[in-house]
Structure 1
């Protein structure tokens, strides 16, 4: 009588051979057909966004009010990092009353920025944990935007 191993190994080999090509093909198809945008935003994307005045993308500045007073990226809305978790958990009407703009849905594209990218990364993580799928991070943030925007003038 043949041993279990002599019967099992050829069967496993045949099984893995028959599934592997389909699995690999499915992975490649998902990789190339994905419509998801990268999680990190570039200056060029921000520049295009503000010049198009795209109402479908929400730009959130998570700096403190004193920093926001030094300048902002056009079309952005300030919500300090300390308030992000609470803000994203508020009901729509309460959010709008408190922050002065319509609350975005969990599927909307939302881009966070701060001074240098650290706090915006934290806001991005908080939003992801709360189930927001369309969030992105402008990792260059205000310093990158200010330097490159001045260079364009």
Structure 2
């Protein structure tokens, strides 16, 4: 009589092979936004540096740290919307958003990059925006710590 292991292992292997292509496709799809350019949802220091150097006005860089943290330094060209206000901010009408935060509200398909100190809060802001239907959002997961360290080199 065959052992349990000799019967179970091939069955598990076959099951994992059956679902692996779907899983990998889902992972690859999750890495990309629905914008035509298919940019990765995770932003690198090099991309941030390039945006700053080119003074790219088509990309909105949002700092979601607290005001005290922003006062210590921020990435050039970034705008400040604290994480505590992000859900409300993204739901505000354009005029009210502009009055409250001092810059024009971006559209749901505009490229918007969130960053914070180390990537955790910017990830939360990214998730909130996605839940509200923003398709062009991205996350600088290295955030301020990565930018500060690499920009000094």
- Superposed CA RMSD in Å reads 1.2
Q: How does 1:4-153 map to 2 (within 5 A)?
A: 35-151=37-153
Provide the residue aligned with 1:15 in structure 2: none
Q: Which runs of 4+ in 1 moved over 4 A?
A: none
Instruction: Write the distance in 2 (CA, Å) between the matches of 1:145 and 1:111.
Output: 14
Residue-by-residue CA offset, 1:26-85 (whole Å, 9 max, x unaligned): x9xxx8xx6310000000000000111111000000000000001000000010000000
Provide the residue aligned with 1:7 in structure 2: none
Structure with the greater alpha carbon radius of gyration: 1
Give the deviation of 1:128 after TM superposition. 0.1
Aligned residue for 2:152, secondary structure, equals helix
Provide the residue aligned with 1:14 in structure 2: none
Aligned residue for 2:124, secondary structure, equals helix
Count of residues in Structure 1 that have an aligned counterpart in Structure 2:
120
